[in-house]
Amino acid sequence: MTKTDASPPTAASFVSLGLPEAALTNLTQLGYTSMTPIQAASLPLALAGHDLIAQAKTGSGKTAAFTLPLLARLAPRSFAVQALVLCPTRELAEQVTQEIRRLARAEDNIKALTLCGGVALRGQIASLAHGAHIVVGTPGRILDHLARETLALDAVNTLVLDEADRMLDMGFADDIAKVIARCPKTRQTLLFSATYPDGVAQLAKRFMREPKDVKLTERHDDSQIRQRFYEVEDSQRLHAVGLLLDHFRPVSTLAFCNTKQQCRDLVGVLQAQGLVALELHGDLDQRERDQVLVQFANRSASVLVATDVAARGLDITQLAAVINVDITPDPEVHIHRIGRTGRAGEQGWAFSLASMDEMGRVGRIDEMQGRPNPWHPLSELTPAADTEPLRPPMVTLQILGGRKEKIRPGDLLGALTKDMGIEGARIGKINVNEFSTYVAVERSVADQALRALNSGKVKGKSVKARRL
Ligand code: ADP
Ligand code: MG
C-alpha cells in the first residue's frame, strides 16, 4: 500500500473489527498495520453481512476487503466450496489467490484454488477432488467445471465479483449470470469495481440484495505526482511522446491511449526511434500477455502502451512516469491513470498531451482536482544532445522450461552465479511460468549470460535460452 493512502492520523486499526487474535497477528506480520480507506469503509459493513458495491482504484487493498469477510464465515472443517471469487483474467485470479492464501495463514488448512482457462482441466479436477474452501476463477472456466460437475456451488455463502467493470468489458455478462444461477439464493454478494458504468449497476440490481454503496473518490498526495500538460496539434502527438521520453528519461513509462489504433500507431513510432516499447492489448493470448508484462515489470522495456481497459488491474510498482497520449473524456479515469505513478513514497511524473479539441476535457479534470493544471511548452523538451537513446537497464532471457519442469527461481540464480560466473547484482527479476522461465539481466552481461545458459546446465539439465 502506498503511504499516501493511509495517513497516520486518520488510519483505522484492524483491531476495531473484532477479528480473531490469530488473524490480527497475521495482519501485523504481513505489515498491514492499519486499514486502507476502502478497507475501513467496507469491512465493517461486509463483516456485518451486507451485500456491498465497492468502488476504489487499483492498488487500494480491495482484495483484503473481501477476503477477511469471506474467511470470517468459513468453516474449515467442511470441505465444500464456501466462497467463490470471479475475476476477469488468469493473472488477476492468481494474484487474488495468493493474497487470500497470505491472509488465510492464521487458520490451519484453508485451501484456495485458482480455476482459469489456459491451464489443463485435468489438474484442476484433481485439485477439486481433494477439496477446496475457496475457488477463484474466470467465469468461462468455472462454467466448464459446472458443466462437467467437477465443481458444485451449493455451499457457497460468499460470492465476490472482483473487477466487475472489466469482466463486463470482456463480455462475461452472460457467463456471470449463469454462474450466479448455480449459487444459493441466500448468500452474501460483494462487488468490486474500479468504475461504475451502467452495466455494473444492472448487474448489482439483478443479483444483489439491498447492497450498500462504498465509493472512494480518489485523492493523491500531490507532492508525489508531478503533472505537466503540453498543448499539441494532433499531428505532433505521437512524436511528442518520444520527446518526453528523451527529455525526462524515465526508466519505465505507462502510456495511455484512448483507442487501440492509437496504441498500435504509437508503438510503431517509438520502436522506429529505437525505443523498447511494448503494447498491451486484448488480442494477445495469455502467453504473449505474460511476456509483455514480465518484460515491463523487470525493466527490460521502457514503455508499455495500453488502453484503459487493457491496463486495468495491473499492479506495477516503480512506474517513473505516466503519459496521457490522449486526454480521456472521463476525469475520474484521468485521476485513476496518473495514480499509477508516485506510489510508495517515490516521486512520479504524469504528462498529458492535449489538443485544442480536448480543452473541455482538461477543464473537467481541473474542476475535479479543484485547481488548474500546469501547462508547459513543447519547446522545453530538448533531447539531451550527447546521450544515447533511452534504453531499458535490463534484458530478458527466456529459458524453455518452467513450473512443469520444476524449475525454481533459486535454481536459475544458483546456476547463473555459481556455475556461470555472473555477478548476482547484475541479475534482476526471475519469473517462472508454466512452460517458460524469464530472467532479467543487465544489458552488459546479457550476451555472456545467454551463451553460458545455452552451454551450461540448470538443475543438472541442458536448457535452451533466447533473448526476448
Ligand atoms: P486492489 O485489488 O485494490 O487493486 P490489492 O488488494 O491487490 O489492491 O492490494 C494492493 C497491495 O496492497 C497488495 O500488495 C496488498 O498486499 C497491499 N495491502 C492491502 N491492504 C493493506 C494494508 N492494510 N496495509 C498494507 N498493505 C496492504
Ligand atoms: Mg484487485
**How far is ligand 1, taken at its centre, from the CA of residue 4, in Å?**
13
Pocket probe for ligand 1: among 4, 33, 62, 63, the residue whose CB has the most ligand atoms within 8 Å is 63
2-216 CATH, one of 2.40.170.20, 3.40.50.300, 3.40.50.150, 3.20.20.370? 3.40.50.300
Rounded mean pLDDT, 322-331: 95
Q: What is the pLDDT of residue 10?
A: 45
| Reported confidence tier of residue 198, pLDDT bands at 50, 70, 90 | confident
Q: What is the pLDDT of residue 2?
A: 33
Rounded mean pLDDT, 413-441: 91
Given a cut of 80, is residue 386 above it in pLDDT? no
Ligand 1 atom nearest to 35, measured from its CA: 23
**How far is ligand 1, taken at its centre, from the CA of residue 100, in Å?**
11
Rounded mean pLDDT, 84-113: 93
Going by C-alpha positions, the residue among 121, 107, 204, 122 that lies closest to residue 165 is 204
Residue with CA at minimum distance from ligand 1 atom 20: 61
**How far is ligand 2, taken at its centre, from the CA of residue 325, in Å?**
25
pTM attached to this predicted model: 0.58
Given a cut of 50, is residue 8 above it in pLDDT? no
Residue with CA at minimum distance from ligand 1 atom 17: 1
Which chain residues have CB less than 5 Å from ligand 2, an ion? 62
**How far is ligand 2, taken at its centre, from the CA of residue 165, in Å?**
12
**How far is ligand 1, taken at its centre, from the CA of residue 36, in Å?**
8
Q: What is the pLDDT of residue 9?
A: 35
**How far is ligand 2, taken at its centre, from the CA of residue 452, in Å?**
39
CA–CA dist 361, 240 (Å, integer): 19
Ligand 1 atom nearest to 38, measured from its CA: 3
42-55 confidence digits (pLDDT tens): 999 999 999 999 99
What is the assigned CATH class of domain 394-467? alpha beta
**How far is ligand 1, taken at its centre, from the CA of residue 248, in Å?**
30
Domain boundaries, the chain: 2-216, 222-380, 394-467
Q: Is 52 exposed, middle or buried (0-12, 13-18, 19+ CB in 10 A)?
A: buried
Asked if 152 contacts 80 with a C-beta cutoff of 8 angstroms, the reply is yes
Q: What is the pLDDT of residue 281?
A: 84
Given a cut of 60, is residue 145 above it in pLDDT? yes
| Reported confidence tier of residue 5, pLDDT bands at 50, 70, 90 | very low
How many angstroms separate the Cα of 101 from the Cα of each of 98, 152, 261, 347?
A: 5, 21, 39, 32
**How far is ligand 1, taken at its centre, from the CA of residue 234, in Å?**
38
Ligand nearest to the CA of 31: 1
Backbone torsions φ then ψ of 420, nearest 5 degrees? -110, 0
Rounded mean pLDDT, 202-218: 88
Given a cut of 90, is residue 112 above it in pLDDT? yes
Pocket probe for ligand 1: among 2, 27, 52, 60, the residue whose CB has the most ligand atoms within 8 Å is 60
62-72 helix and 37-47 helix, angle to the nearest 10 degrees = 20
Given a cut of 70, is residue 276 above it in pLDDT? yes
Given a cut of 80, is residue 222 above it in pLDDT? no
Ligand nearest to the CA of 12: 1
Q: What is the pLDDT of residue 310?
A: 84
300-315 confidence digits (pLDDT tens): 999 999 998 888 767 6
Residues with CB under 6 A from ligand 1: 1, 31-32, 35-36, 39, 56, 58-64, 99, 315
Ligand nearest to the CA of 58: 1
Percent of the chain exceeding pLDDT 90 equals 64
Given a cut of 90, is residue 218 above it in pLDDT? no
Residue with CA at minimum distance from ligand 1 atom 1: 59
Q: Which amino acid is at 384?
A: A
Q: What is the pLDDT of residue 345?
A: 62
What is the assigned CATH class of domain 222-380? alpha beta
Is there a common fold for 2-216 and 222-380? yes
Ligand nearest to the CA of 56: 1
Rounded mean pLDDT, 73-84: 95
Given a cut of 70, is residue 385 above it in pLDDT? no
